[in-house]
Amino acid sequence: MAHKLFIGGLAFSTSTDRLREVFAEAGAVESAAVVMDRDTGQSRGFGFVEMASAEAAAEAVKKFNGKDLDGRTLKVEVANSTGAGGSRSGGGGGFGNRGGGGRRW
């Protein structure tokens, strides 16, 4: 089973191939992807890497979190496993979306 990592702080020039190559230093990489803006085709500055084992994922976090890549400081963490459409904040639409109307405080 692959272990998915969130990679934040990517330089706009960092490619998927470069991401895969760098993270291979920590262990076997099953997949890598830099997230691209669908309108502009430009990198959105983050991506995901799937490592082949939990050990490789832990090593990648240890080795690359806070380190420089292509002039930017990386944020590397285990990706949330909320599935498609999940929110990193866990919120449900922000303030005012409480079902009963106005604020309660």
Task: Say how far apart CA 7 and CA 92 lie, in whole Å.
Answer: 24
In a domain, 89, yes or no: no
50 within a domain of the structure (yes/no): yes
Q: pLDDT per residue over 37-72, tens digit each?
A: 999 999 999 999 999 999 999 999 999 999 999 999
87 occurs within a structural domain: no
Of 1-5, 6-10, 31-35, 97-101, the one with minimum mean pLDDT is 97-101
pLDDT, mean of residues 3-25: 97
> Considering only CA atoms, which of 59, 66, 68, 74 is closest in space to residue 7?
74
pTM (two decimals)? 0.75
Of residues 85 and 27, more confidently modeled: 27
Please state, in angstroms and rounded to a whole number, the distance separating the CA atoms of residues 29 and 53: 9
- Rg over alpha carbons for the chain, rounded to the nearest Å, is 17
Give the residue numbers spanning the domain of 21: 3-78
Give the whole-angstrom CA distance, residue 3 versus residue 29: 9
Looking at the predicted structure, is the pLDDT value of residue 100 above 60?
no
State the average pLDDT over residues 10-15. 97
pLDDT at 86: 46
Q: Which two tokens stand for residue 102?
A: 């106005």
Distance CA 38, CA 5 (A): 22
pLDDT band per the 50, 70, 90 thresholds, residue 87: very low
Residue 29 has pLDDT above 80, yes or no: yes
CATH classification at residue 42: 3.30.70.330
Cα distance between residue 29 and residue 21, in whole Å:
9
Q: Is the dihedral of CA 55, 21, 67, 73 positive or negative?
A: negative
Q: Count structural domains, the chain.
A: 1
